Structure 1
Amino acid sequence: MKKVIIAGGTGFIGTYFEKRFNDIGYDVKIISRHPHNIQWDDKKAIVEALEGSELLINLAGKSVNCRYNEKNMKEIMSSRIKTTNILGKCILDCNNPPKVWMNSSTATIYRHAEDRPMTEENGEIGTGFSVDVATNWEKEFFSFNLPKTRKLALRTAIVLGKNGGVIIPYRNLTRFGLGGIQGNGKQKFSWIHIEDLFQIVLFLNNRNDLEGVFNCSSPNPVSNAELMKLLREEMNVKIGLPAPKWMLEIGAAVIRTETELVLKSRWVLPEKLEKEGFIFTYNTLDKTLRNIL
């Protein structure tokens, strides 16, 4: 039985991946802080799980949906660096290490882009805390020399699915008539359907010739204005009041999050995946929203 290890596998993406891997006959092991899973401080158990595995997927890290105060910023950074470091060291201790290690990264690594899309080859790395997290995360990941393990960093856009993630707050805003543009509405929204993300993992796992960084995002990003319009249409809501930046700043403070999550223009294209022949099932946002709503 093929074995896959999902680190940080108890969140929205991890639970979906666990179910889908079980569906296709994998033995799935989860590393997390939850008592019934393999614990992060149990190095022996982690090495044992990794031995002879086909694939390790690391999704671990504190959610960025919080206020960027000193305590949270420290936890966001350290939770990613520490867990990646633990996994790298445990792989080094394996006699028969995982064939493939896929580590989460984020499409937020690129700069705010309203002028042109960012690809793996010509994308420009941005500045600020979120970018620092992404660059340090990837630096830690690629610092390990693992000749028997192929490594891929997944620069993932905003993940959309039925039972979690950002679709829930967007849906609630739209339902209560607040589904208008946010900010000026021009900022780009790059996303990926959770099933396409799973299929990317399978695709990359089967391609022994591929490694390095991959943008995991739909090939058809939209503006914030288009996103909110499609949400209103799909939910049959006629009114959508806009939320200017000053209003978002107040709202973000109240619900303990940051406006960057909706105001940063993420214009990301999956150039390498498409060049290698990956075909998206949910390539447009209307098709995606129809499926998950």
Structure 2
Amino acid sequence: MQKKIVLAGGTGFIGKYFQKKFRDLGYEVVVVSRNSCDYVWDDTKGIIEALEHSELLINLAGRSVDCRYNERNKKEIVTSRTETTEILGKALKACKNPPSLWINSSTATIYRHAEDRPMTEENGEIGTGFSVEVAKAWERSFFQFDLPETRQVALRISIVLGESGGVMTPFINLVKYGLGGAQGPGNQKFSWIHIEDLFRSVLFIQNNKSLSGVFNCASPNPITNRELMSQLRKVMGVRVGLPSPKWLLEVGAILIRTETELILKSRWVVPERLQQEGFHFIYPTIESALTQIWTEKKQKLT
């Protein structure tokens, strides 16, 4: 019988990448999402059937935070994470042969704005504000379930970099049009992970059956925003990039209906547990990650 995984919220940037990678490994990939998938969220019976005899459940579901934080959007951001997580937890409890591992997304934004020291799983300080409350509610929804046959791992994922979507498209456009300088003060930390290392960290946790709990998914080499933009200009062959002061970012955020927190919060997160367990990063430095991404982007453009 073909190996099977269930990928919830698997139609976005990360989900599509995971679909392809798992299918390349010979898995049947069953997708649960709002639409264009195998099962939708209100199909309780179908979700239970999908989970039966599967090896792994990965939940990536959640409305994008790239929006203005008005009351309607804030409610959708929270419920799209907590309600889907609870649907999956209840479905697992109803399974006769549940998967042995449930990996649920969380976010590295759960930690405070940090310019003084890195945040680890053991010693990181939980922050305050809307984004942090979302992350805390998300993890509460996940860890409320007692599942004797299923390991549970929450991934506190930093900014994911890859050639097929996410933040790279707007960053590349900024550099292309001469606006690739530091954003805001420029010294805010930028914690990131290449999408291939994110996928490989999932496989690593799957294969190491003693692992459970919370894991930071981030490169071991976080950088500043200024270093990010400098390296991106370097790999793209663009010598000059105008900086974007905070006031300009505030105006721009209103115009494109997003929040400056996505750029200005200092996320200084390191993957202490993954490193202690012996995980090896293919793209440990921003230069190696951006070089691969830009090379792939150029090949698709030619």
TM-score by length of 2: 0.96
In the TM superposition, what whole-angstrom CA distance separates every residue of 1:127-157 from its partner, at most 9, and x where no partner exists? Answer: 0000000001001100000000000000000
In the alignment, which residue of structure 1 is the partner of 2:24? 23
Determine if the alignment matches structure 1 residue 265 to structure 2 residue 266. yes
Matches within 5 A, 1:1-293: 1-293=2-294
In the alignment, which residue of structure 1 is the partner of 2:298? none
> What amino acid is the match of 1:30?
V
In the TM superposition, what whole-angstrom CA distance separates every residue of 1:109-140 from its partner, at most 9, and x where no partner exists? Answer: 00000000000010000000000000010011
Q: Hey, what's the Cα distance between the residues in 1 that align with 2:195 and 2:17?
A: 8
In the TM superposition, what whole-angstrom CA distance separates every residue of 1:244-282 from its partner, at most 9, and x where no partner exists? Answer: 111000000000000000000000000000000000000
In the TM superposition, what whole-angstrom CA distance separates every residue of 1:4-45 from its partner, at most 9, and x where no partner exists? Answer: 100000000000000000001011000011144211000000
Unpaired runs of 5+ residues, structure 1, are none
Report % sequence identity. 65
Deviation (angstroms), 1:236:
0.8
Q: Hey, what's the Cα distance between the residues in 2 that align with 1:35 and 1:169?
A: 26
Deviation (angstroms), 1:2:
1.2
> What amino acid is the match of 1:89?
K
Q: Hey, what's the Cα distance between the residues in 2 that align with 1:147 and 1:225?
A: 46
Q: Count matched residues.
A: 293
* SS of aligned partner of 1:103: strand
Kindly indicate whether the alpha-carbon contact (under 8 Å) linking 2:31 and 2:37 is maintained by their aligned counterparts in 1.
no
Q: Hey, what's the Cα distance between the residues in 2 that align with 1:159 and 1:44?
A: 33
> What amino acid is the match of 1:169?
P
* SS of aligned partner of 2:61: coil
Kindly indicate whether the alpha-carbon contact (under 8 Å) linking 2:197 and 2:281 is maintained by their aligned counterparts in 1.
yes
> What amino acid is the match of 1:84?
T
Deviation (angstroms), 1:85:
0.4
TM-score by length of 1: 0.99
* SS of aligned partner of 1:104: strand
Q: Hey, what's the Cα distance between the residues in 1 that align with 2:274 and 2:66?
A: 28
* SS of aligned partner of 2:39: coil
* SS of aligned partner of 1:213: strand
Q: Hey, what's the Cα distance between the residues in 2 that align with 1:138 and 1:72?
A: 20
* SS of aligned partner of 2:40: coil
Unpaired runs of 5+ residues, structure 2, are 295-302
Kindly indicate whether the alpha-carbon contact (under 8 Å) linking 2:191 and 2:218 is maintained by their aligned counterparts in 1.
yes
Q: Hey, what's the Cα distance between the residues in 2 that align with 1:163 and 1:140?
A: 30
Runs of 4+ in 1 over 2 A off after TM superposition: none
* SS of aligned partner of 2:268: coil
Q: Hey, what's the Cα distance between the residues in 2 that align with 1:207 and 1:232?
A: 39
Q: Hey, what's the Cα distance between the residues in 1 that align with 2:158 and 2:36?
A: 30
